């Protein structure tokens, strides 16, 4: 089994090192990850400047680009083969509910999925890397399960996984969930620069708005590892007929 591993926190982040260590004996694992922290870069691709790939002393390759750049470059020429699975993470913090739209961790996995390869994005629910080894062990368990059931080459899937920061003995089972929803993000933070200009910092993510039973928020709060299958089609299928009825076609 050939596994491509990436992330959005950068190739030196503890999360990708832990995930590599956890799954390295499950197949041929190659790392291609961003040089710097690229959190919240979603699916962005770098189109107007060149990308460079370097190899670190530990064998990880790093790119001066986004998470999606890394997977894109890997799959379109750098690797020279097609991996069976793309894995991303482990991210420093939750990617639940609306986070998945912004997440570079999900973006890296989604790039693999868009190329037709099954993919998994892993995140810890709290920042700070507490109990990272336990998260690695859970990630390994899921990757092993997925490899055992066989990776389809015709109908790929994309899993978004969030792991509570707990010791392994306190982590509960995998729970298949839908995404919850968050409130709007917190207010922007403004400061005055040393030059007297106003600087703005994007505020934190909003608190959970829909954390009902069956959501990722609910499952992880109880100590479960949430597993949400994602798809990419943003069409509002439910409202298609209503829109069709209300938009009168011109002649």
Residue nearest Mn ion (C-beta atom): 39
Q: Is 8 in the site for Mn ion (CB under 5 A)?
A: yes
Reference 69, options 110, 100, 29, 102; nearest CA is 110
Give yes or no for residue 66 binding Mn ion (CB under 5 A). no
Tokens at 164, concatenated: 């509570």
Residues 6+ apart with CB under 8 A from 119: 85, 86, 87, 88, 109, 110, 111, 112, 113, 156, 157, 158, 159
Cα–Cα distance for residue pair 245/172, rounded to 1 Å: 47
CA distances from 59 to 68, 162, 176 (A): 20, 27, 34
CA distance 214 to 226: 10
> Residues 6, 66, 88, 91: which binds Mn ion (CB under 5 A)?
91
For Mn ion, the closer of residues 84 and 92 by Cβ is 92
What track of x and - describes contact with Mn ion for positions 133 through 152 (by CB under 5 A)?
--------------------
Indicate whether 9 belongs to the interface with Mn ion (CB under 5 A).
yes
Q: Does 39 bind Mn ion (CB under 5 A)?
A: yes
Q: Of 84 and 107, which has the nearer Cβ to Mn ion?
A: 107
Region binding Mn ion by CB under 5 A among candidate stretches 4-12, 51-59, 144-152, 156-164:
4-12
Stretch that binds Mn ion, among 9-17, 112-120, 192-200, 212-220 (CB under 5 A): 9-17
Given the rule CB under 5 A, which residues bind Mn ion? 8-9, 39, 91
């Amino acid at each position: 089994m050939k596994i491509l591993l990436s992330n959005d926190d950068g190739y030196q982040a503890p999360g990708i090192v832990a995930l590599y260590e956890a799954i390295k004996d499950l197949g041929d694992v190659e790392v291609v990850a961003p040089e710097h922290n690229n959190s919240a870069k979603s699916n962005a691709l770098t189109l107007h400047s060149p990308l460079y790939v370097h190899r670190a002393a530990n064998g990880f390759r790093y790119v001066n680009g986004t998470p999606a750049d890394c997977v894109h470059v890997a799959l379109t020429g750098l690797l020279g083969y097609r991996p069976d699975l793309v894995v991303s993470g482990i991210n420093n913090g939750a990617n639940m509910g609306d986070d998945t739209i912004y997440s570079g961790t999900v973006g890296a996995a989604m790039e693999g999925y868009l190329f037709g390869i099954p993919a998994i994005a892993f995140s810890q629910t709290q920042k700070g890397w507490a109990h990272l080894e336990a998260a690695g062990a859970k990630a390994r368990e899921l990757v092993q399960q997925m490899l055992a059931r066989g990776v389809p080459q015709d109908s790929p899937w994309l899993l978004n996984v969030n792991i509570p920061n707990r010791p392994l003995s306190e982590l509960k089972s995998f729970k298949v969930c839908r995404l919850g929803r968050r409130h709007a993000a917190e207010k922007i933070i403004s400061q005055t620069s040393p030059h007297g200009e106003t600087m703005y910092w994007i505020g934190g993510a909003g608190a959970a708005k829909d954390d009902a039973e069956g959501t990722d928020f609910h499952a992880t709060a109880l100590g479960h590892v949430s597993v949400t299958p994602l798809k990419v089609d943003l069409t509002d299928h439910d409202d298609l007929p209503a829109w069709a009825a209300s938009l009168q076609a011109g002649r």
